[in-house]
Structure 1
Amino acid sequence: LASAKELMRINGTTKSDLANHLGESISGAITIRAFEEEDRFFAKNLDLVDKNASPYFCNFAATEWLIQRLEILSTAVLSFSAFIMALLPQGTFSPAGFVGMALSYGLSLNFAFVVSIEMQCKLANQIISVERVNQYMDIQSEAAEVVEENRPLSDWPQNGNVDIRDLKIRYRKDAPLVLHGITCRLEGGDKIGIVGRTGSGKTTLIGALFRLVEPAEGRIIIDSVDISTIGLHDLRSHLGIIPQDPTLFQGTVRYNLDPLG
């Protein structure tokens, strides 16, 4: 049971990686074909399938081992009961009584077997759920929404000048850098195009402007204000973004353009 619970947890984790890779491959099929990377993605998919199949097979084997042990126990109890009933004096039980005792033993052991399997599955699912909750509890909270001693002016930004200085970003402490020391200046009113292959960090750079991910090093200054020193609400409420995946709500065009009024 202990092995089966751990294997079920590993199975759930590897299945999540497989489903995530499959979803990414489907959504980015056009890009994958454009760069002729079908073989690499297909090979990675097979690798993830193998990683998921291994704990699944071991979990299946552990369940079969439990089934075998319970069936052996059931057979032993039934055989012992039949042997004892055969040794009892004739007339102690009626033929219907013999049949009833045999059925009751079999049904009780089968019921215990089914209950044990269900309890194993429920317990394993609860363990996986608790581990996921613990992972979310360990996520570091975002910065404060408002920093009272350092609030920007109500009409900030006036010009829209963006000064990026040696910006380095990684998504985890032990992860490699996604942006490697970017330095540039964007003048207000200019139309800037950021070009690069998939995974080069275009979305990360835009996310850094909204502090969706905090810089490992470097600064972003908008109209002489370092955005890392102000609150998230003051920053995000003064900037606007149109996502690349459009979402329309029910209602009028006005409501879709300005849902908060």
Structure 2
Amino acid sequence: MTLAKRNTYNEDEKLNEHFNWHDYARLGHYLRPYSWRMLLVLGSILIGNIAVILGPYLMKVAIDSAIPQRNFQLLWLLGGIFLASLLVAFGCFRYRIWAITEIGQNLLIDMRTDLFTNLQQLPFSYFDSRPHGKILIRVVNYINTLSDLLANGLVNLISDIISLLVTLVFMFAINWKLTLDSLVLIPFLLIWAYYIQKKQRVAYRELSNKQSNLNAYIHESIDGIKVTQGFAQENNAIHAFDTVANDNRDSYMRAVKVQYALSPGVQNISTMTTALIYFIGIQQLGVVVSTGTLIAFLGYINNFWNPVINIGNFYNSLITATAYLERIFETMDEKPTVIDAPDAFALPPIKGDVRFNDVSFRYDDDGPLNLHDVSFHAQAGQTIALVGPTGAGKSTIINLLSRFYNVTSGTITIDNVDISQVTLKSLRTQMGVMQQDTFIFSGTIMDNIRYGRLDATDEEVIHAAKIARADNFIETLPDGYQTTVQERGGSMSAGQRQLLAFARVLLADPRILILDEATAAIDTKTEALLQAGLNELLKGRTSFIVAHRLSTIQQADQILVVNDGQIVEAGRHEDLLAKRGEYYELYESQYRMLQAE
């Protein structure tokens, strides 16, 4: 069996060279539900900015009018207005911070939910072709990075723009010539920002790759820690970690070096503008420009450049977040390949008659065929065993029956209904699948078994566990069925995990039962007990059993011998032995191994 190409932890992911800026418009989809809240925030920003910007103007009036005329009543009035403006600005700022934080968290949940929902619909091939750590970092880290940009950064941008416009209005009202003089260096700032953004995006694309690689390696090393320690390869693991960690550090330092190049440029231009206004204003002081006007104007220059600096920082964040946004949208845009047909209908209750009609399949569109014209008929209630060497295509056959993949050609029918024409939910809810890799969720043993049918009662859960012979070891645990197990069932033996997974499938009470190496990790004694329960369970159900232990499938109604993606032999145990073909050789080989033990 040829697997799909897999990206590894030390391989950088590739994206389009040019980012589609139109994708930023997609962010509006996440802001739309909070439009009215955003309007309130913008209103508070406008009121708060006007309150803050009143300060220099009040100072101008005080210096040019109230103080020279010794008008203390006007001076007290100006002071009262100034104090009120500070209180208004404080209240608006406080509301803005609270509202923005809440909106940001809601945006984070919305984006992460959409991303996670799409992941739930993607085919096995997507997860087979990339390290899970590279998927995890998109759902957690990248979304966290964007959340502040989408809420706080975006609203602050609007706040700064409003502040900038209001400040310009006051500046032009006071002295339009000085205002034009203060804008003379803006073109140099725009040229500098354009130059920096190109380098910054490339740097942060590289950083996102290295962060993804680091996360993938950590995830992989934790999953494989028992193998690492079992072969005493801790030093090699540490060396590999140092390599990806150093790559991440180096790319981060390069990215930060470029990012922080913008801020000094803005600061320098701001300082030169202030110096220019001092130079021009002092020359004209007392002739064209009054003392109060110059002092107020210098205050407004500061108010002008502060939002410019903030907008520059936001632009920095925007370019930085582009690399992460690309990854998020790339995952969101992954299209599920196994989906309901436009005219799909619900599969009615089935009896379990299964037919494979000239089914061929390949994992990659341009790859070789993994199954070649597979055809067989399983009558309702029959037990079908699939045997053959590793990689022959046995698991592929049952994965196609469950529609975890789409067939390349041919058809699969259940009760003469093409499964490609029915809804996935109606198909899979009538099938019970126990994969070769047993997975146990964090939670109680009761919850893990109940995952097969969420509305099952405790009595039904216990009954399924007894049939699967899992009850024997569950009762020995301190809390019995309420015992909490860790992720992947790390505190349990491989055999115990398989017994729990078996009970989970039995609880679903499926019409078609699929067991992929269901007894692989169970000892011979437990297997004999389990077989007794299985014999009762298999009655009246169509069952497909993938097994390497031929002793477990001798009573099957049909045994399909699979090799190199084809069914090379089919029949009952006795008939296949009589043929002295591939099944006979497999059986004799296992028999000799058992005799040698």
TM norm structure 1: 0.63
Counterpart amino acid of 1:26? I
Mapping for residues 42-121 of structure 1, pairs under 5 Å: 42-90=238-286, 92-94=289-291, 98-121=294-317
| Residues 199-250 of structure 1: per-residue CA shift (max 9 Å, x gap) | xx9998985664434578999999xx99889874565334323573323779
| Residues 21-71 of structure 1: per-residue CA shift (max 9 Å, x gap) | 212222331222223343443333233223333432222122221112112
Relative to total residues, which structure has the larger helix share, 1 or 2? 2
| Alpha-carbon separation, structure 2, partners of 1:82 and 1:30 | 70
| Alpha-carbon separation, structure 2, partners of 1:259 and 1:246 | 16
| Alpha-carbon separation, structure 2, partners of 1:214 and 1:28 | 31
Find 2:216's aligned residue among 13, 16, 20: 20
Counterpart amino acid of 2:429? S
Contact 1:5 1:120 in 2 (8 A): no
Q: Secondary structure at the match of 2:431?
A: coil
Q: Does 1:259 align with 2:454?
A: yes
Q: Secondary structure at the match of 1:241?
A: strand
Find 1:236's aligned residue among 428, 447, 458: 428
For residues 234 and 157 of structure 1, do their structure 2 counterparts lie closer, same or farther at Cα, with a shift above 3 Å needed? farther
Sequence identity (%):
16
Q: CA RMSD in A?
A: 5.1
| Alpha-carbon separation, structure 2, partners of 1:123 and 1:181 | 47
Counterpart amino acid of 2:440? P
Counterpart amino acid of 2:272? A
Contact 1:11 1:55 in 2 (8 A): yes
**Counterpart in the other structure of 2:439:** 245
Find 2:337's aligned residue among 127, 138, 141: 141
| Alpha-carbon separation, structure 2, partners of 1:45 and 1:218 | 46
**Counterpart in the other structure of 2:227:** 31
Task: Please state how far the C-alpha of 1:130 moved relative to its aligned partner.
Answer: 5.3
The runs of 5 or more residues in structure 2 that have no matched partner are 1-196, 375-381, 457-597
For residues 209 and 173 of structure 1, do their structure 2 counterparts lie closer, same or farther at Cα, with a shift above 3 Å needed? same
Number of residue pairs the alignment of both structures matches: 250
TM norm structure 2: 0.32
Counterpart amino acid of 1:48? V
Q: Does 1:212 align with 2:425?
A: no
Which segment drifts farther, 74-83 or 115-124? 115-124
Task: Please state how far the C-alpha of 1:78 moved relative to its aligned partner.
Answer: 1.5
| Residues 171-200 of structure 1: per-residue CA shift (max 9 Å, x gap) | x557x99x98899xxx948799x999xxxx
User: Quick check: which has more Rg, 1 or 2?
Assistant: 2
| Alpha-carbon separation, structure 2, partners of 1:203 and 1:16 | 31
